[in-house]
Amino acid sequence: MSAPPVRTVEYLLPSAPAGVGQARSLVRADLGRWGLAHVMDDCLLIVSELVTNAVRHGGSAYTLRLEERAGRLYGEVFDPGDGVPLQRSPGVEALSGRGLQIVAAIADDWGVATTDNGKLVWFTVACAP
């Protein structure tokens, strides 16, 4: 019996507000092609939050990568910016600062890894039907 296929896509996107919508469009198309419409809304929200952070804090461009393997979707956003994103607890009146709380609530797992030239924020979502 052969192993199930591994599907992977990777995109280099400009760090501009329009890039957030472009990233969502790419995720929507890839997950649709992979037959993963049942996790699309969650993944779109997670990617929106991570990409927005990369656009705000990351530098001139960022990389979005998705991989589906054995019933799990792994995603990551890499940017060359300094600092490490931290989950915050903004006040009720705050207009921002909840992105990583949303990621933590929706993703099965997530984390941050630093590299010599930036940071990588990753997430996983179970996608078995």
pLDDT of 57 reads 86
**Distance (Å, whole) CA 119 – CA 44:** 21
Question: 111 — phi, psi (to 5°)?
Answer: -175, 180
The proportion of the chain whose per-residue pLDDT surpasses 90, expressed as a percent, equals: 67
Residue with tokens 């192993």: 3
Surface-to-core class of residue 80, CB atoms within 10 Å of its CB (0-12 exposed, 13-18 middle, 19+ buried): middle
Express each pLDDT in 9-57 by its tens digit. 999 999 998 889 999 999 999 999 999 999 999 999 999 999 999 998 8
Domains and CATH numbers, the chain: 7-83+98-126 (3.30.565.10)
